């Protein structure tokens, strides 16, 4: 796996060439605020002494998913990217505009629905275009870090493309608590990379606009598992051992049958049995008390943390 045609003898980004045993920070200009302030995307390149696979580690594709940004930031601070073999390209925050406005989107458009993009299109489209043109052309595979959205907290998990055997192998190596296939979405980053034979793992953990310590630690641990597997980092780097990933084959959201105030009695990530009470939905006057029960045996892979629920809202994501 990834043992031929290494791309890191020279990595070229925006005219900068980074050779073996070189590290560099490149700031890619994207656009200006209406005030004239320049917005740049910092890209870190860590190229090892020996030829090896090149991996893209990317956070903040959605601007409100701050957990992904913090995960990569900690690895930078902890100097986890002391790369001996191969190359790591690190983008801590891609969607700067969404980050500043606490929004998933970039000027009202989802970057992750804008691929392959255009250099003359919207800001989101241009971001997608240059991401593929400047960064992805250099890499063998990548990890795209995400969180749940709209108060939905994802238990740490990796998703991969069913048709991509390399992606499944990477997911197994990453060893998140849960792993499962996910359908390709039109105009998404993973879909475009799949067209270019670049496997992408999507790590999901936590929820938007909130840091989740467990997800951060599991994301860092999984990333180090990948780097260690390909002999990219020193064997002296300590990686906490954990149980093998549980492979989810089917998953479905349980939806609220009535509106009201929602509370849970189980924890995210729990194993549950059919008929087990998962939570309650109550009206504001105390006249109704509706039990939400597990429809089958499985694992809780995401929970809606928002307490005010409308009929039909997704509240528990259960995998089997």
- In this predicted structure, the answer to whether residue 4 has a pLDDT above a threshold of 70 is no
CA 121 to chain centre: 25
The confidence score (pLDDT) of residue 304 equals 98
Which CATH code of 3.60.15.10, 2.60.40.1220, 2.40.50.100, 1.10.1030.10 fits the domain covering 249-319? Answer: 2.40.50.100
Of the candidates 200, 121, 193, the one whose C-alpha atom is nearest the C-alpha of residue 168 is 200
Share of residues in the chain with pLDDT > 90 (%): 81
CA 202 centroid distance within chain: 5
Q: What is the pLDDT averaged over residues 294-317?
A: 97
pTM of the model: 0.96
Q: 204 φ, ψ to 5°?
A: -120, 130
pLDDT computed for residue 3 by the predictor: 63
Q: What is the pLDDT of residues 205-234, one digit of tens each?
A: 999 999 999 999 999 999 999 999 999 999
pLDDT of residue 115: 96
DSSP state of 49: S
Q: What pLDDT score does 41 carry? A: 87
DSSP 3-state of 76: helix
What architecture is domain 10-229? Answer: 3-Layer(aba) Sandwich (3.40)
pLDDT score of 1 more than 70:
no
The full set of domain ranges for the chain reads 10-229, 249-319
pLDDT at 38 over 90: no
Contact 164, 170 (CB under 8 A): no
pLDDT bin (cut points 50, 70, 90) of residue 139 is: very high
For residue range 243-263, list pLDDT tens digits in order.
999 999 999 999 999 999 999
Averaged pLDDT, 144-167: 96
- Residues whose CB is less than 8 angstroms from the CB of residue 135 and which lie 6 or more positions away in sequence, other chains included: 13, 43, 56, 89, 91
CA distance 61 to 158: 16
Is it the case that residue 7 has pLDDT exceeding 90? no
What is the rounded average pLDDT of the residues 75-83? 92
Region 128-134: mean pLDDT is 92
Mean pLDDT of 38-63: 94
Inform me whether the pLDDT recorded for 2 exceeds 80: no
């Amino acid at each position: 796996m990834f043992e031929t045609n290494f791309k890191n003898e020279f990595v070229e980004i925006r005219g900068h060439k980074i050779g073996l045993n070189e590290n560099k920070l490149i700031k890619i200009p994207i656009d200006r605020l209406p005030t004239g302030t320049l917005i740049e995307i910092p890209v870190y390149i860590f190229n090892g002494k020996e030829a090896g696979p090149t991996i893209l580690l990317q956070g903040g594709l959605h601007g409100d998913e701050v957990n992904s940004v913090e995960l990569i930031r900690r690895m930078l601070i902890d100097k986890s990217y002391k790369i001996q073999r191969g190359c790591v390209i690190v983008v801590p925050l891609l969607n700067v505009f969404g980050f500043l406005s606490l929004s998933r989107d970039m000027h009202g458009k989802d970057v992750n629905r804008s691929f392959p993009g255009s250099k003359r299109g919207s800001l989101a489209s241009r971001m997608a275009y240059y991401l593929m043109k400047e960064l992805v052309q250099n890499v063998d595979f990548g990890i795209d870090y995400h969180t749940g959205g709209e108060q939905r907290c994802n238990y740490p998990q990796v998703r991969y493309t069913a048709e991509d055997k390399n992606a499944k192998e990477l997911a197994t190596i990453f060893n998140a608590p849960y792993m499962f296939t996910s359908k390709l979405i039109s105009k998404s980053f993973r879909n475009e990379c799949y067209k270019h034979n670049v496997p992408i793992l999507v790590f999901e953990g936590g929820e938007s606009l909130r840091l989740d310590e467990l997800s951060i630690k599991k994301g860092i641990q999984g990333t180090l598992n990948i780097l260690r597997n390909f002999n990219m980092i020193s064997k002296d780097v300590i990686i906490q051992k954990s149980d093998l990933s549980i492979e989810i084959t089917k998953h479905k959201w349980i939806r609220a049958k009535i509106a009201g105030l929602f509370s849970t009695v189980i924890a995210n990530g729990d194993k549950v049995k059919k008929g087990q009470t998962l939570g309650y939905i109550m009206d504001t006057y105390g006249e109704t008390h509706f039990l939400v029960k597990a429809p089958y045996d499985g694992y809780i892979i995401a929970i809606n943390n928002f307490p005010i629920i409308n009929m039909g809202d997704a509240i528990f994501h259960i995998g089997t």
